[in-house]
């Protein structure tokens, strides 16, 4: 892959997350019943960041879980490699909660679809929101995000890489071009 | 979402000859995740939707077959069951013809139990589909060894440097053979112990002894095997009381092992024969945990042998 450009800097990622945290509080009218669930891998780091921001703004720590959607993917029979099954841990009761599902990039919508199925198997939230740092378009399913850090129209030949301080040592969103595209 | 892939896995689980430590550890990690699935209110995930697996048991079994069937259903595979007692094999049909007939029905993987060693290998040659050995003669029972390793890791942490004593009828035990193959791969040493008439000439992966005290000395875990009473008819044991006197695992003898060394048994168990009945129900016993873990391990095996194979 070839690097093309940096789409969001460290500061811009921070601002986008701050705005999302405010929007979540606004939409939920506070923190009552609120919880965050991060989708592996970078969705977890971003969800943690949002939980910290909500606590900073509202003075209350809301619960957070982590979700792996591997066993819910709809392409498991088609792919050549076996994806690694990772940890799912929701250490609180989802029933009646307003869940904010957090992922780094919204693309085809298939991950979000799988995450909804996985979440519903774990309990019955009163409401599920979707928060993403980047929406790059090219949806294959009728899914949209409730909270978006940045809308970034892309070509299918391009790859959007989200980096986080926790996983990569820096916060950034980068655009790469696939080889041979 | 970013996703990483597990190492490439063999296309079957006949024994551990084609498996390496990385693959086994990755499978055990997946089993850990399957445990989480089994703890949910909805104990089912859609990963194997569209796959059909067949449990083909030419030899009777209840717990292994049920464990596999539940595992397959928990991961959303369709399951068909075949038991030789109610099949055309009673009319003389061969293993090969039976399996090839089933294969025309769109089976994606076979869970096979046979009384003769080597049939699972043959079945893979005939069908070229994932075959999971659910016990073949005295030779191998790899998913039992995997669930034993999983249970031991859960209890002891890493198996690196640990000593596992296997006690009982080693000669006729496919469980002992598979554990002797698998546990050293994960860093453990295995000593197999029983009366001389119930020990094989050699057991790859394990040392052999008739001295129970030596076998149990400093053992980090003790695995007790069922004494197959029918063996006594063949003159392999002088008498049941004599076996009990020499080799039964009792509270007192368990003191020879490391403090709090857990106790395993693949079942079915003859209480107060190979194992003092009270020990089976004691906090040191992992017998019920082994059964519970069996399902998670088998879910992981099915996942790794089937997912990605149509790509």
Residue A14 carries which DSSP code? H
Global pTM value:
0.94
Instruction: Please tell me the least confidently modeled range out of A10-24, A36-50, B138-152, B232-246.
Output: B232-246
Does ipTM come in above 0.95? no
Asked if B36 contacts A85 with a C-beta cutoff of 8 angstroms, the reply is no
| A151 Cβ contact partners less than 8 Å away, ≥ 6 residues apart | A134, A135, A137
Which of B3, B26, B27 is the best substitution to test chain A (most A C-beta atoms within 10 A)? B3
Q: Kindly state whether A93 is in contact with chain B, defined as any CB-CB distance less than 8 angstroms.
A: no
Over residues B113-147, the pLDDT tens digits come to 998 888 999 999 999 999 999 999 889 999 999 99
Question: Cα separations (Å) of B103 from A135, B55, B72, B131?
Answer: 46, 12, 18, 12
Write down the pLDDT at residue B285. Answer: 97
CB contact under 8 A, A71 and B42: no
pLDDT digits (tens, 9 = 90+) for A80-120: 678 899 999 999 999 999 999 999 999 999 999 999 999 99
CA distance A45 to A48: 5
Interval B98-115 mean pLDDT: 93
Q: What are the CA-CA distances from residue A9 to residues A5, B6, B176 (Å)?
A: 11, 32, 58
* pLDDT attached to residue B311: 41
Contact B308 A41 (CB under 8 A): no
Mean pLDDT confidence for B224-243 = 80
Residues B64-92 as b/e (b if ≥16 CB within 10 A, e otherwise) read: bbebbbbbbbbbebbbeebbbeeeebeee
CA distance A119 to chain B (A): 11
Given a cut of 80, is residue A165 above it in pLDDT?
Answer: yes
Instruction: Name the helix (H) or strand (E) containing A42.
Output: helix A42-58
Q: Nearest CA to CA, how far is B125 from chain A (Å)?
A: 22
Determine which of A78, A82, A104, A118 to mutate to test the interface with B (most B C-beta atoms within 10 Å). A82
Q: Is B52 in the A-facing interface, judged by CB distances under 8 Å?
A: no
Q: Are A103 and B1 a contacting pair at CB < 8 A? A: yes
Question: Does A86 contact B33 at a Cβ distance shorter than 8 Å?
Answer: yes
Alpha carbon distance A30, A128 (integer Å): 15
Asked if B30 and A83 come within 8 Å (Cβ–Cβ), the reply is no
Rounded to whole angstroms, the Cα distance separating A24 from A13 reads 16
Give A123's contacts in chain B (Cβ within 8 Å). 41
How far off is chain B from A31, nearest CA to CA, in Å? 26
Chain B, 16 to 35: residues with Cβ < 8 Å from chain A are: 26, 29-30, 33-34
Whether residues B3 and A122 touch (CB distance < 8 A) is answered with no
Strand partners, A102: A38, A131
Q: What is the pLDDT of residue B6?
A: 79
């Amino acid at each position: 892959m070839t690097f093309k450009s940096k789409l969001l800097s460290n500061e811009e990622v921070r601002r986008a997350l701050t705005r999302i945290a405010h929007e979540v509080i606004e939409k939920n009218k506070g923190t009552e019943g609120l919880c965050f669930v991060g989708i592996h891998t970078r969705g977890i780091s971003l969800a943690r960041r949002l939980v910290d921001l909500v606590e900073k703004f509202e003075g209350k720590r809301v619960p957070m879980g982590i979700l792996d959607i591997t066993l819910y993917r709809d392409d498991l029979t088609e792919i050549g490699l076996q994806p690694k099954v990772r940890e799912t841990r929701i250490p609180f009761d989802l029933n009646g909660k307003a869940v904010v599902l957090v992922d780094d990039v919204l693309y085809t919508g298939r991950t979000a679809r799988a995450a909804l199925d996985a979440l519903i198997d774990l309990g019955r939230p009163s409401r599920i929101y979707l928060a993403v740092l980047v929406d790059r378009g090219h949806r294959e399913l009728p899914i949209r995000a409730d909270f978006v850090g940045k809308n970034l129209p892309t070509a299918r030949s391009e790859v959007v890489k989200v980096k986080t301080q926790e996983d990569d040592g820096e916060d950034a969103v980068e655009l790469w071009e696939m080889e041979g595209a | 979402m970013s996703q990483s892939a597990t190492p490439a896995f063999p296309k079957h689980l006949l024994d551990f000859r084609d498996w390496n430590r990385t693959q086994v550890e990755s499978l055990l990690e997946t089993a850990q995740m399957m445990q989480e699935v089994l703890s949910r209110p909805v104990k089912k995930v859609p990963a194997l939707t569209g796959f059909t697996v067949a449990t083909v048991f030419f030899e009777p079994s209840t717990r292994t077959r049920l464990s596999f069937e539940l595992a397959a259903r928990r991961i959303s595979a369709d399951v068909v069951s075949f038991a030789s007692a109610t099949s055309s094999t009673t009319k003389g049909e061969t293993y090969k013809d039976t399996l090839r007939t089933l294969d025309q029905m769109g089976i994606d993987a076979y869970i096979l139990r046979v009384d003769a060693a080597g049939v699972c290998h043959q079945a893979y040659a005939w069908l070229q589909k994932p075959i999971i050995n659910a016990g073949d003669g005295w030779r191998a029972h790899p998913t039992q060894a995997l669930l034993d390793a999983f249970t031991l890791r859960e209890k002891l942490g890493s198996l690196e440097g640990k000593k596992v004593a296997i006690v009982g009828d080693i000669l006729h035990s496919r469980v002992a053979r598979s554990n002797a193959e698998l546990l050293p791969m994960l860093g453990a040493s295995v000593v197999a112990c029983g009366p001389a008439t119930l020990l094989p000439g050699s057991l790859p992966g394990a040392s052999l002894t008739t001295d129970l005290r030596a076998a149990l000395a400093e053992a980090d875990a003790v695995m007790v095997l069922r004494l197959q009473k029918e063996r006594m008819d063949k003159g392999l044991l002088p008498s049941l009381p004599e076996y009990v006197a020499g080799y039964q695992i009792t509270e007192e003898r368990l003191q020879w092992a490391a403090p709090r060394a857990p106790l395993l048994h693949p079942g079915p168990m003859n209480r107060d024969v190979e194992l003092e009945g009270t020990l089976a129900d004691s906090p040191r016993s992992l017998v019920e945990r082994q059964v519970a873990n069996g399902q998670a391990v088998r879910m992981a095996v099915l996942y790794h042998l089937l997912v990605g194979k149509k790509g």
